[in-house]
Amino acid sequence: MESAFESDFVREIVRAALREDLGDAGDVTTRATVPPSARARGRIFARRECVVAGGAVAAEVFRQLDGAVAWSCVPDGTEAATGSTVATLAGPAGAILTGERTALNFLQRLSGIATEARRAVREVAGTKAVVLDTRKTTPTLRALEKRAVVAGGATNHRFGLFDAVLIKDNHVALAGGVRRAVEKAVAAGHPLGRIEVEVDDFDQLQEALEVGAGRILLDNFSPGQTAEAVRRVAGRARVECSGGLRPGNLRTYAEAGADFLSLGWLTHSAPAADLSLEIVPETEGEAP
């Protein structure tokens, strides 16, 4: 169930998206060609198989345009076969036409992320590796995109800069090395076991192990280097891999023993799902 904060966020995002599309003049084409009394019904269907995400956001689009639009959508996480119906809607034709593109933009973007997340999770099935997202998200849409990742079966990494310590290469450079960076984080009050540090090579890995970091991020290590790093860590820290990971090249990293695989791909490069809306006039007295 959505929290009040999430509901408010969705309303604000949809309001901004509609403002972007409608401008000051509104939908001039629909207003010129479709009578205000016209009614229609339609369905959104998958042109290619996908995992659905974003139904609640699409519903909010039509709710804001006209509360009389009836909307029904399959639950997030549903696998939609090619040609299958993802959502149905009926009501004032003008609102349906006006909201079509905004609703589809949300659905296609979020369903594309969920689809790639599902692919990634299936690829590493049977291993201990957990598929994570990253902060490489569309500005202002992070909450929606991370929710889509979960709909696909993957797991959220930290949401933002505020909820976890992740010491990356530039922090290391400015702090004076891995050890100094970790020590400074501990001095700032962060538990050692919850500090994650990114390493670029085996020397930095050793330094991270010696200082006691709880989680180590292997940046752009090969599968072979990952296996060697896991051997050296020997259970003293959790091991995460990042850098160039995407569905199709994950299995070897998972089999090398990584605990986590973080994929910026899921939110910065996942292709949009191929969805389309069919609309037909609704005759008077016809059931939605």
CB atoms within 10 A of CB 253: 24
| In the predicted structure, residue 223 carries a pLDDT above the cut 80 | yes
State the fold for domain 155-262: TIM Barrel (3.20.20)
Q: What is the pLDDT of residue 282?
A: 86
| Full-model pTM | 0.94
115/50 Cα distance (integer angstroms): 5
Q: What CATH number has the domain spanning 4-116+271-281?
A: 3.90.1170.20
Mind telling me the catalytic residues? 101, 136, 168, 198, 219
| In the predicted structure, residue 235 carries a pLDDT above the cut 70 | yes
pLDDT band at 284 (very low <50, low <70, confident <90, very high): low
Domain locations in the chain as residue ranges = 4-116+271-281, 155-262
pLDDT tens-digit readout, 86-124: 999 999 999 999 999 999 999 999 999 999 999 999 999
